[in-house]
Amino acid sequence: MPAYATVRDYIRTIPDFPHAGIMFRDVTTLFADPRGLRMAVDQLLHPYAGSRIDKVVGLEARGFILGGAVAHQLSVGFVPVRKAGKLPGKVISEAYELEYGRAVVELHDDAIAPGEQILVVDDLLATGGTAEAGIKLIERLGGEIVSCSFIVDLPELGGRKKLEAMGMDVHTICEFEGA
């Protein structure tokens, strides 16, 4: 196994997946390596050491892997934002735009108490649609977002700008050019 110096080095690119012209940034290779995963989790949570964080919210689906690990390291609770129909119990929903249609994410209506300090975590920031929907759900419950933390930023797709325009602090570990 080669020695990798940065989180970015662990991420493979798969051309033309899931469609022609897309350069898919595959973080499963990062997750599969214990050093890479540790490095990513440490870098996701490092800016918040000493900050008040009450819960980590992970966005469907790879945000669950990262968010759970970050929550564990911060000794706080973890809350999933899921695709519609996946959570039992009472939920609130938020629709958002995809490239070819709409999707809906949900959050348990009792998952976050008003005033709780929330860190949002996911693997990749592209257009920002999923993160924006998750943020709206958190804010509807009265949660206060400390920051949004991602491994990969795809700056050409505008997600960071969208979240920053919403007043969000955005932390990313690395970026890749192209879609």
pLDDT digits (tens, 9 = 90+) for 81-105: 999 999 999 999 999 987 677 999 9
The question of whether 62 is a catalytic residue gets the answer: yes
How far apart, in Å, are the Cα atoms of 167 and each of 37, 144, 146, 148?
29, 11, 10, 11
Q: Is 113 part of any domain?
A: yes
More confident residue, 3 or 154: 154
Question: Which CATH number covers residue 150?
Answer: 3.40.50.2020
Residue 116 appears among annotated catalytic residues: no
Taking each helix axis from N to C end, the angle separating 62-74 and 34-45, rounded to the nearest 10 degrees, works out to: 70
Distance CA(55)–CA(68), nearest Å, equals: 10
The single residue of 25, 52, 94, 99 carrying the catalytic annotation is 99
Q: What is the tally of structural domains in the chain?
A: 1
HSE value, Cβ hemisphere, 13 Å, CA-based, for 38: 5
Structural tokens at position 175:
């970026």
Residue 4 domain flag = no
Q: Which residues pair with 102 in a beta bridge?
A: 97
pLDDT band at 178; cut points 50, 70, 90: confident
pTM of the predicted protein model: 0.95
Does the residue 105 lie in any domain? yes
Q: Could you give the C-alpha distances from 103 to 35, 89, 93, 129, 136, in angstroms and in order?
A: 34, 20, 10, 9, 14
3-state SS class at 27:
coil
Region 120-128 average pLDDT: 96
Domain that holds residue 120: 51-175
Q: Which of 25, 62, 82, 160 is catalytic?
A: 62
The verdict on residue 26 lying in a domain is no
